């Protein structure tokens, strides 16, 4: 097998950045260059004060140790490709917005452009690694493009190496992954490329956690893992609706079923709905794949996971309106949290956006606070969520606050949309004293101690709990 000494990663995003920064940290003998077409992003990765383009606990430390030593960020994609023995393709694969499969299929344009660039500029053999999440058999298309455009004497081996990190815990996930999955063709060359990549991870990952499988299984395993994880959340959220209607308590139900070792306790937290750039996109991708394979029942099964999530979000908005005496027109609501989960500044598909859109359409006034999301991002997301409302009109209804206490001041209701730890720890007595009465709290994340808040005087509504207000 080729001994890898130079790695190039195409795509300096949430996956490419942290993943390859950790490879550089753990493998000082390998030079890692992360390239991206987005100049502003690369500049941020290179910023002298480490104002990195993404917020991820522990990431700055990793970049501080490796940057300039064996970790580099650049916009010179061609040079990065030419110098590397192994290239990760870690570009975005969003859901298609137009054309065939719009709303479901993955947009593979960026993967194809990156692949074509590799073919066009490579002057020596490369191992090309699919890091992006892609539909099953994408590696085949990549191989066809590479082989049709390769120069004499250059060969390309394609691997699939999907990434399982979760945002907010990316660095710990990368330091000790549950598993690293590598898919290859089962040919001698494919297996040899697989070993080259496996040897890179073996610098810090125990060998029994490095799984090697066929290419197509590897590609499908990524979609399958996300679909199964999201399905757990939709299942617990569906049960949360039954709890609210019956007086059962979703925490107790999750605890009770999680004790079954076959079910396990993780990922059973009822919420206002899952968000993030992956779950919805990857399930829709699986739905599209199933439909293309003429498996409509399979497609319908997985589609329901996304539909339940939409239902959970709108159900929560409706609970807010119903509880506030069936109207929120002209009322002032604080929304705590805009990111799709805690410990990230990422807002892609955040449930908070759907809630705020619903509140705005009821003509409420909304004040938002999030510890990590930048103001410009909030305006961008709300503009996209309300395409028929000019931004200046949105700004008449929305204010951005700089602390949770400031956000809650003089409001009629507080909605917790993201499970930031600091929301549990704010001084709820002060919040109460400063609010209009009756003061309502809607906990969409099972975050606060509802009984404690009730003692202060709040009227508390918690997802998945029978007792209301």
The C-alpha angle 40, 43, 45, rounded to 5 degrees, equals 115
The C-alpha angle 49, 54, 56, rounded to 5 degrees, equals 95
267 is in an annotated binding site: no
Pair 274, 351: CB distance under 8 Å: yes
107 contact choice in ligand NAD, ligand UDX, none (CB below 5 to 8 Å, kind-dependent):
none
Is 27 designated active site? no
In the list 31, 33, 92, 317, the residue contacting ligand NAD (rule: CB under 6 A) is: 92
130 is in an annotated binding site: no
The C-alpha angle 424, 265, 223, rounded to 5 degrees, equals 100
Q: Which of residues 22-81 bind ligand NAD (CB under 6 A)?
A: 35-38, 41, 77
The answer to whether 8 contacts ligand NAD (rule: CB under 6 A) is no
The answer to whether 168 contacts ligand NAD (rule: CB under 6 A) is no
Which among 211, 216, 349, 224 is positioned nearest to 275, based on CA atoms? 349
280 is in an annotated binding site: yes
- Residue closer to ligand UDX by CB (options 54, 364) is 54
The answer to whether 91 contacts ligand NAD (rule: CB under 6 A) is yes
Report how far residue 212's alpha carbon sits from residue 174's, in angstroms, rounded to the nearest whole number: 18
Joined tokens for residue 4: 């890898």
Buried b (16+ CB within 10 A) or exposed e, 97-107: eeeebeebbbb
414 contact choice in ligand NAD, ligand UDX, none (CB below 5 to 8 Å, kind-dependent):
none
198 contact choice in ligand NAD, ligand UDX, none (CB below 5 to 8 Å, kind-dependent):
none
Chain residues that interact with ligand UDX, rule: CB under 6 A: 163-167, 226, 229, 233, 267-269, 271, 274-276, 278-279, 340-341
Catalytic position from the list 20, 27, 243, 278:
278
Buried b (16+ CB within 10 A) or exposed e, 404-425: beebbbebbbbbbbbbbeebee
Joined tokens for residue 451: 């009984």
135 is in an annotated binding site: no
348 is in an annotated binding site: yes
Joined tokens for residue 9: 């990663």
275 contact choice in ligand NAD, ligand UDX, none (CB below 5 to 8 Å, kind-dependent):
ligand UDX
Q: How far is the CB of 222 from ligand UDX (least distance, A)?
A: 8
Which among 412, 421, 422, 420 is positioned nearest to 442, based on CA atoms? 412
Helix (H) / strand (E) element for 184: namely strand 180-184
Q: How far is the CB of 203 from ligand NAD (least distance, A)?
A: 21
Joined tokens for residue 228: 């199964």
Distances (CA, A) of 120 to 249, 367, 368: 59, 50, 47
36 contact choice in ligand NAD, ligand UDX, none (CB below 5 to 8 Å, kind-dependent):
ligand NAD
30 contact choice in ligand NAD, ligand UDX, none (CB below 5 to 8 Å, kind-dependent):
none
281 is in an annotated binding site: yes
The answer to whether 114 contacts ligand NAD (rule: CB under 6 A) is yes
Can you say whether residue 467 is alpha, beta or left, with left for phi > 0 and alpha for psi between -120 and 50 degrees? beta
Q: Which stretch binds ligand NAD (CB under 6 A): 6-14, 202-210, 233-241, 448-456?
A: 6-14
15 is in an annotated binding site: yes
The C-alpha angle 181, 32, 127, rounded to 5 degrees, equals 50
Q: How far is the CB of 269 from ligand NAD (least distance, A)?
A: 18
In the list 70, 90, 271, 352, the residue contacting ligand NAD (rule: CB under 6 A) is: 90
- Residue closer to ligand NAD by CB (options 12, 453) is 12
Residues in the interface with ligand NAD (CB under 6 A) total 27
Can you say whether residue 205 is alpha, beta or left, with left for phi > 0 and alpha for psi between -120 and 50 degrees? beta
16 is in an annotated binding site: yes
Pair 410, 436: CB distance under 8 Å: yes
Indicate the annotated binding residues for NAD(+).
Answer: 11-16, 36, 41, 91-95, 132-133, 167, 278-281, 348
Catalytic residues: 278
Chain residues that interact with ligand NAD, rule: CB under 6 A: 10-16, 35-38, 41, 77, 90-93, 110, 113-114, 132-133, 163, 165, 167, 277-278
């Amino acid at each position: 097998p080729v001994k890898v000494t130079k790695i190039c990663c195409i795509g300096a995003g949430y996956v490419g950045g942290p993943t390859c920064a950790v490879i550089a940290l753990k493998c000082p003998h390998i030079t890692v260059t992360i390239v991206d077409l987005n100049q502003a992003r690369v500049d941020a990765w290179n910023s002298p004060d480490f104002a990195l383009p993404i917020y991820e606990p522990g990431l700055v430390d990793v970049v501080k140790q490796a940057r300039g030593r064996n970790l580099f960020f650049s916009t010179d994609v061609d040079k990065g490709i030419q110098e590397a023995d192994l290239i990760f393709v870690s570009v975005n694969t969003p859901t298609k917005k137009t054309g065939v499969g719009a709303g479901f299929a993955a947009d593979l344009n960026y993967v194809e452009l990156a692949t074509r660039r590799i073919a066009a500029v490579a002057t020596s053999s490369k191992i090309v690694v699919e890091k992006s999440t892609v539909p099953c058999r994408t590696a085949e298309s990549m191989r066809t493009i590479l082989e049709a455009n390769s120069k004499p004497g250059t060969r390309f081996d394609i691997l699939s190496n999907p990434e399982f990190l979760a945002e907010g815990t990316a660095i710990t996930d990368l330091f000790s992954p549950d598993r690293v999955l590598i898919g290859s063709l089962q040919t001698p060359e494919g297996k040899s490329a697989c070993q080259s990549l496996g040897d890179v991870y073996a610098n810090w990952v125990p060998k029994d956690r490095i799984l090697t499988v066929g290419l197509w299984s590897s590609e499908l395993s990524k979609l399958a893992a996300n679909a199964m994880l999201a399905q757990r959340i939709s299942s617990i959220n569906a049960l949360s609706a039954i709890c609210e209607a019956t007086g059962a308590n979703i925490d107790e139900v999750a605890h009770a079923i999680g004790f079954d070792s076959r079910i396990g306790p993780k990922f059973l937290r009822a919420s206002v709905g899952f968000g993030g750039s992956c779950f919805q996109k990857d399930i829709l991708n699986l739905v599209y794949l199933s439909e293309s394979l003429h498996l409509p029942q399979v497609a319908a099964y997985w589609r329901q996971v996304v539909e339940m999530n939409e239902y959970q979000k709108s159900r929560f908005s409706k609970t807010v309106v119903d509880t506030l005496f069936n109207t929120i027109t002209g009322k002032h609501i604080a929304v705590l949290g805009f990111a799709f989960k805690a410990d990230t500044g990422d807002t892609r598909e955040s449930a908070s956006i759907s809630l705020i859109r619903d509140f705005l359409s009821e003509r409420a006034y909304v004040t938002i606070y999030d510890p990590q999301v930048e103001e410009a991002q909030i305006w961008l997301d709300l503009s996209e969520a309300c395409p028929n409302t000019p931004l200046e009109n949105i700004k008449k209804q929305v204010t951005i606050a700089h602390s949770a206490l400031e956000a809650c001041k003089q409001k009629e209701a507080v909605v917790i949309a993201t499970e930031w730890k600091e929301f549990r720890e704010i001084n709820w007595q002060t919040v109460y004293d400063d609010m209009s009465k009756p003061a309502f709290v809607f906990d969409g994340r099972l975050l606060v101690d509802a009984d404690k808040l009730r003692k202060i005087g709040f009227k508390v509504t918690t997802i998945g709990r029978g007792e209301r207000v």
